Amino acid sequence: MTTNRVQNADGVTLDLLGDPVATRRHRGAPEQAALAEVLRALEHHPAVAWIRRQNSGAAKEGNRFVRFGWPGAPDLIGMTKDGRTIACEVKGPDGRLRPEQRAFLELVRQHGGVAIVAKSCRDVFAVLGPPGATA
């Protein structure tokens, strides 16, 4: 993730959007750091109407095992201002898509949605255009 950050004259680390980065927050968790950066880029992109974190997995509640989400569910889901679905799978530097994730993103693409695999905000900008672009 260090290639997506710069330091200003005061030595403060900034992300590509020019905002200070809390470096301790995601220490040792590159996918979590990437998720925070990509979510922020999508939240502030002029083409995006809304974007939310899509939690999936499983948890034990008492004696019950509860699943939430679905196989292949993206990390982030939302909508563009022109009404298309956005599905974004965020990966750390060495992360790879699982077959279910690849299939879901392809389904979104087939039906006119925007499917993104992002390791940083640069991947978001490569698909949606730079943040200064008009929606």
Instruction: Tell me how far apart the alpha carbons of residues 135 and 23 are, in angstroms, rounded to a whole number.
Output: 31
Domains of the chain (ranges, CATH numbers)? 2-128 (3.40.1350.10)
| Longest Cα–Cα distance in the chain | 55
For residue 60, give both structure tokens. Answer: 């034990």
The pTM of this model reads 0.74
Q: Where are the alpha helices (DSSP H) in 15-115?
A: 30-43, 99-110
For residue range 77-114, list pLDDT tens digits in order: 999 999 999 999 999 988 999 999 999 999 999 999 99
Q: Are strands 85-90 and 76-80 parallel, antiparallel or unpaired?
A: antiparallel
Instruction: Tell me how far apart the alpha carbons of residues 23 and 72 are, in angstroms, rounded to a whole number.
Output: 29
How would residue 121 be classed by pLDDT, with cut points 50, 70 and 90? Answer: very high
Exposure string over 57-72, b if 16+ CB within 10 A, otherwise e: eeeeeeeeeeeeeeeb
